Amino acid sequence: MADLSKIGSFLDGLLEDTSVPKNVRAAIGRAKERLANPDPNEAVAGAIYSLDEVSNDINLPMHARTMIWNILSELEAIKYGNAGREQE
3-state class (DSSP) for residue 55? coil
Mean of the pLDDT values across residues 7-26? 95
pLDDT at 81: 85
Domains, the chain, in order of start with CATH, read 2-87 (1.20.1440.50)
pLDDT in tens, 23-46: 999 999 999 999 999 998 999 999
Q: What are phi and psi of 56, to 5 degrees?
A: -115, 20
pLDDT in tens, 41-80: 999 999 999 999 999 999 999 999 999 999 999 999 998 8
Of 88, 51, 43, nearest to 73 by C-alpha is 51
pLDDT beyond 70 at 17: yes
Residues 2 and 77 sit within 8 Å (Cβ to Cβ): no
